[in-house]
């Protein structure tokens, strides 16, 4: 009994440390969440934590900030743009990378190893290395400021890592499977669609989530290749809002929160895949 | 089976095209551009006259680049140390509680949101209003509250008494630990001989500083001389190592760490007396850069935690238990079993974070736009290109950044090759 009590007591510091760390990690996000629902005069005149003095008072809350930033600053449009940019770019890169991963794992062609090693090396190339030459080509071909241009750019930048992961996974599939399929007269393409794709769904799912969120959260690629504000994704829109309205917290906070909604939903519903993709792929771009 | 080669090229073709176009080709062209002067941006291909390494000389001798370089190094050291350190601590601690998965979600959550959103979240934490107004930023408000709490008469006296107690306790334990280490290193000369070396470094540092002071005093060599700086560096290194050696002592280490922590908290509370609101993102050179680095730590600790936690769970429980049964305390288990066992993962995590830190951009761009001496190499390059249209400098900086990252290209390839060899 006493021993148990001592044991419990000796664990108190452990819990204290963990809980303090969790609170420290949570407070900043909680701050913008609470503040984004407060009237703009309140945001500027008192700290967001003062809401908790009288949490039930409806006067403390408003959705005016959200309507204002969504429709007054056209955040809804950039929210939509983020989907328009992320989804096709993710699909293009998944498709190309699956094809290439399969070829690097199971098909034989001259220069295969050298090409693959080059791709592994290119995973960590800083994007800063690539912007100037590509902008030049983009602006002389009309891809500058177009969705196609941005889809391709994201696909290209994400490709080395995705090929690498696809190949590693697909290379682990049993060899006998392919041998018997080819004996049965299956073509390379049939083997790809009927065997490789269904068996590789776990890695494809992880990569899809990872790539989608990466593109959703990207700022730098859009900053460089999307000069047209009406096509800009939400991250770029927010970054510009900080530049022009740095002190308008009643606009910045809801905007930031809107941009976080999709990643947070993905994160909490698909945490397993997300963590798997991210831990494997964080070295990118 | 027929035409396999041709089919193979169809499969890798699209991927190779985009990789070649978006990564390989521009890497070559940017390197080439960095040796050109008066770059003409009209055509599809950069043209200009060859100027050799002039761009590099310009870039590497300009104050902005040096500041950006210094900041990148600061980011590298501070952020890597804290993310890996916190990640390690969390991996070990969270394994012992039954709400592990919730706590992990909380710590990992920032990794899901964009760095742009994270920048706004923290900009709001750092929000500043002039003294006299109600502070709306969490940090200024919290520190102000701590300051006024610590300055209350009763509290103030209590804090000073606690400060003295913890200070004396810490000093006693530190002396005991170091004395034990020194005694051991003299009598046994094997196990703890590092203490002697470190003590030697401190004494050498003291001697150098004394020499520097005497030289300055008699008029030879004023201001900062290499001797003086070397002395200070050696002194700091020695003191830090002495601290580490004392904390690592098995008997006196844990109470020393505990009293140091408490001392730190009390000292921190006392130091906030008379706190005036700070413009965290404007105070150069250290405050604003560290304020930015905190954002990076907040985001990336979750990553380190997840990686390291997986490795920690891979340690056979029987190994930890055996060490405990043999009489090792938790600290010994940590240093002698956990750390060696997790070495590979720790290195891999650190490498990943280092690569990422070198390319850090979004935080700086969104919060300060690189003003007030907060530029890092990655953001300076974008500024040169995007805001100043200085393509010569931009490509030279990009190449410098690439050179810093290049070792990791080799490491990646090596690591892949060794993994293939096993397979």
Is residue A48 in some structural domain? no
How many angstroms separate the CA atoms of A219 and B115, rounded?
Answer: 8
Are residues B246 and B327 located together in one domain of the fold?
Answer: no
B 11-70 → A contacts, CB under 8 A = 11-12, 14-16, 18-19, 21-27, 29-30, 33, 41, 43-46
pLDDT tier for residue B228 given thresholds of 50, 70 and 90: low
In a domain, A61, yes or no: no
The predicted structure's pLDDT at residue B2: 47
Same domain for B157 and B253: yes
The string of pLDDT tens digits covering residues B84-114 is 999 998 998 888 888 888 888 899 889 888 9
Size of interface A-B (CB pairs under 8 A): 305
Closest CA to B195 of B151, B249, B145, B155: B249
Residues in chain A, pLDDT under 70: 1-3, 6, 246, 277-285
What would the DSSP string read from start to end of B345-376? HHHHHHHHHHHHHHT--HHHHHHTTTTTTT--
* Residue A85 Cα, gap to closest chain B Cα (Å): 15
Calculate mean pLDDT across residues B281-305: 88
Search chain A and give the residue with CA nearest B258: A13
* Chain B residue numbers touching A48 (CB-CB < 8 A): 136, 138
Query: What SS3 class is residue B50?
Result: strand
Closest-approach residue (CA) in chain B for A139: B44
**Are both B167 and B202 inside the same structural domain?**
yes
CA distance linking residue B413 with residue B416, whole number of Å: 5
Chain A's closest residue to B100, CA to CA, is A18
CA-to-CA distance for A77 and A63, rounded, in angstroms? 18
For residue A229, the distance in angstroms to the closest alpha carbon of chain B comes to 16
In a domain, A208, yes or no: yes
The larger pLDDT score, comparing residue B182 to residue B278, is at B278
What does the DSSP assignment read for B118-140?
HHHHHHHHT----TTSPP-SHHH
Task: For residue A132, give its domain range.
Answer: 69-281
pLDDT for res B1: 45
Could you give the CA distance from residue B283 to residue B149 in angstroms, rounded to a whole number?
25
pLDDT bucket at B193, cuts 50 / 70 / 90: low
Assigned token pair, A21:
């760390």
CB contact under 8 A, B4 and A108: yes
Does residue B219 lie in a domain region?
yes
B135 close to A (CB below 8 A): yes
pLDDT tens figures, B230-240: 766 776 777 77
Q: Any idea what DSSP says for residue B320?
A: H
Instruction: Pick B416 or B367 by higher pLDDT.
Output: B367
Say yes or no: B255 and B299 in one domain: no
A50 part of a folded domain? no
Mean pLDDT along residues B332-359: 85
- The pLDDT assigned to B136 comes to 85
Q: Domain range spanning residue B170?
A: 136-279
pLDDT digits (tens, 9 = 90+) for B62-81: 888 888 888 899 899 999 99
ipTM for the predicted complex: 0.87
Residue A14 is assigned to a structural domain of this protein: no
- Please indicate, yes or no, whether residues B117 and B140 belong to a single structural domain of this protein: no
Among A3-7, A76-80, B256-260, B347-351, the minimum mean pLDDT is found in A3-7
Chain A positions touching B45 (Cβ under 8 A) are 133, 136
Alpha-carbon gap, residue A150 to B32, rounded angstroms: 25
Q: CB distance A28–B125 less than 8 Å?
A: yes
Q: Confidence band (pLDDT; 50, 70, 90) for B3?
A: low
Residues B59 and B101 in one domain: yes
In a domain, A31, yes or no: no
Question: Which of B361, B391, B398 has its CB closest to that of A220?
Answer: B361
Q: Do B293 and B407 lie in a common domain?
A: yes
CATH number of the domain enclosing A119: 1.10.3720.10
Would you say residue B405 lies in a domain?
yes
Tell me the nearest-neighbour CA distance from B423 into chain A, angstroms: 10
This model's pTM is above 0.90: no
Per-residue pLDDT, averaged over B375-404, amounts to: 88
Model pLDDT, residue A266: 86
Count of structural domains within chain B: 3
- Asked whether residue B379 falls in the same domain as residue B293, the answer is yes
For residue B330, give the CATH number of its domain: 1.10.3720.10
Assign B288 a pLDDT band (cuts: 50, 70, 90). Answer: confident
Q: Rounded mean pLDDT of chain B? A: 83
The tokens of B95 are what?
């394994």
What gap in Å lies between CA A73 and CA A179, rounded to an integer? 59
**Which residue, A34, A75, A60, is CA-closest to B125?**
A34
- Say if A181 is an interface residue toward chain B (CB within 8 Å): no
Residues 6+ apart with CB under 8 A from B396: B34, B55, B56, B58, B59
Is A126 in contact with A193 (CB distance < 8 Å)? no
Same domain, B170 and B214: yes
Cα separation, B145 vs B411, in Å, equals 49
A174-214: pLDDT as tens digits: 888 888 888 887 788 888 888 888 888 888 888 888 888 88
Question: How many CB atoms lie under 10 A from the CB of residue B19?
Answer: 26
pLDDT tens sequence across B21-47: 999 999 998 898 888 887 777 767 777
DSSP B25-42: HHHHHHHHHTTEEEEE-S
Q: Same structural domain for residues B190 and B273?
A: yes
- Across the range B293-308, mean pLDDT stands at 91
**Do residues B289 and B185 touch, judged by C-beta distance below 8 A?**
no
DSSP string, B201-219: HHHHHHHHHHHHHHHHHTT
The dihedral through the CA atoms of B107, B112, B115, B117 has a sign that is negative
Give φ, ψ of B50 to 5 degrees: -65, 125
Task: Please count the structural domains in chain A.
Answer: 1
Same domain, B267 and B170: yes
No. of H helices and E strands in chain B? 18, 2
* Closest among A40, A252, A60, A47 to B136, alpha carbons compared: A47
Domain assignment present for B258: yes
Residue A267 maps to a domain? yes
- Look at residue A35 and tell me if it is in a domain: no
Q: Is residue B131 a part of any domain in this protein?
A: no
The sign of the torsion formed by the CA atoms of B291, B295, B300, B301 equals positive
| Whether B289 and B272 share a structural domain | no
**Are B113 and A217 a contacting pair at CB < 8 A?**
yes
Range 103-132 of B in CB contact (< 8 A) with A: 103, 105-117, 119-125, 127
């Amino acid at each position: 009994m006493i021993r148990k009590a001592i044991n419990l007591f000796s664990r108190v510091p452990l819990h204290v440390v963990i809980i303090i760390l969790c609170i420290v990690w949570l407070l900043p996000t909680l701050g913008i969440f609470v503040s984004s629902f407060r009237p703009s005069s309140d945001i500027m005149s008192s700290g967001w934590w003062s809401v908790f003095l009288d949490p039930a008072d409806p006067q403390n809350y408003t959705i005016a900030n959200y309507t204002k930033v969504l429709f007054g600053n056209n955040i809804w449009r950039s929210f939509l743009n983020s989907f328009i940019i992320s989804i096709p770019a993710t699909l293009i890169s998944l498709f190309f990378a699956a094809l290439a991963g399969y070829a690097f794992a199971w098909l034989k062609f001259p220069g295969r190893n050298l090409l693959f090693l080059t791709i592994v090396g290119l995973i960590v190339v800083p994007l800063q290395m690539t912007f100037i030459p590509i902008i030049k080509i983009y602006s002389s071909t009309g891809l500058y400021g177009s969705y196609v241009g941005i889809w391709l750019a994201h696909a290209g930048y994400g490709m080395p890592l995705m090929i690498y992961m696809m190949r590693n996974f697909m290379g682990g599939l049993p060899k006998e499977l392919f041998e018997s399929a080819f004996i049965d007269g299956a073509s390379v393409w049939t083997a790809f669609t009927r065997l490789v794709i269904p068996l590789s769904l776990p890695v494809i799912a992880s990569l899809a989530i990872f790539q989608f969120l990466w593109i959703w959260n990207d700022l730098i690629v859009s900053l460089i290749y999307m000069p047209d504000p009406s096509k800009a994704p939400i991250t770029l829109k927010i970054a510009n809002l900080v530049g022009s309205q740095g002190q308008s917290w009643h606009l910045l906070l809801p905007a930031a929160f809107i941009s976080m909604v999709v990643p947070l939903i993905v994160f909490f519903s698909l945490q397993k895949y997300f963590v798997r993709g991210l831990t494997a792929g964080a070295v990118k771009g | 089976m027929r035409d396999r080669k041709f089919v193979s090229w169809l499969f890798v073709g699209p991927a190779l095209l985009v990789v070649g176009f978006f990564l390989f080709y521009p890497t070559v062209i940017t390197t080439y551009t960095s040796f050109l002067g008066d770059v003409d941006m009209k055509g599809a291909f950069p043209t200009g006259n060859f100027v050799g390494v002039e761009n590099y000389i310009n870039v590497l001798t300009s104050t902005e680049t040096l500041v950006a370089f210094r900041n990148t190094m600061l980011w590298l050291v501070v952020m890597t140390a804290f993310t890996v350190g916190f990640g390690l601590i969390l991996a070990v601690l969270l394994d012992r509680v039954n709400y592990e998965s919730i706590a992990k979600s909380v710590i990992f959550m920032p990794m899901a949101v964009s760095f742009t959103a994270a920048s706004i979240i923290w900009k709001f934490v750092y929000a500043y209003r002039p003294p006299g107004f109600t502070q709306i930023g969490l940090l200024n408000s919290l520190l102000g509250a701590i300051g006024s709490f610590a300055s209350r008469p009763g509290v103030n006296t209590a804090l000073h008494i606690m400060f003295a107690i913890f200070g004396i306790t810490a000093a006693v334990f530190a002396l005991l630990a170091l004395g034990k280490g020194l005694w051991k290193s003299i009598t046994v000369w094997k196990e703890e001989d590092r203490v002697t070396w470190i003590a030697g470094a401190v004494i050498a540092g003291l001697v150098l500083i004394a020499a520097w002071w005497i030289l300055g005093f008699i008029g030879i060599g004023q201001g900062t001389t290499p001797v003086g700086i070397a002395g200070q560096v050696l002194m700091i290194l020695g003191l830090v190592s002495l601290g580490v050696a004392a904390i690592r002592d098995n008997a006196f280490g844990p109470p020393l760490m505990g009293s140091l922590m408490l001392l730190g908290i009390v000292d921190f509370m006392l130091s906030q007396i008379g706190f005036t609101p700070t413009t965290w993102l404007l105070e150069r050179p250290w405050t604003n850069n560290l304020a930015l680095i905190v954002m990076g730590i907040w985001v990336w600790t979750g990553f380190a935690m997840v990686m390291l936690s997986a490795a920690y769970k891979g340690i056979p429980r029987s190994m930890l238990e055996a060490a405990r049964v043999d009489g090792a305390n938790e600290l010994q288990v940590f240093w002698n079993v956990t750390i060696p066992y997790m070495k590979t993962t720790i290195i891999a995590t650190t490498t990943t974070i280092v690569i990422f830190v070198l390319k850090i951009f979004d935080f700086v761009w969104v919060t300060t736009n690189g003003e007030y001496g907060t530029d890092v190499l990655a953001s300076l390059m974008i500024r040169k290109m995007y805001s100043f249209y200085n393509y010569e400098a931009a490509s030279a900086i990009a190449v410098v950044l690439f050179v810093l990252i290049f070792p990791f290209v080799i490491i990646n390839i090596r690591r892949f090759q060794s993994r293939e060899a096993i397979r």
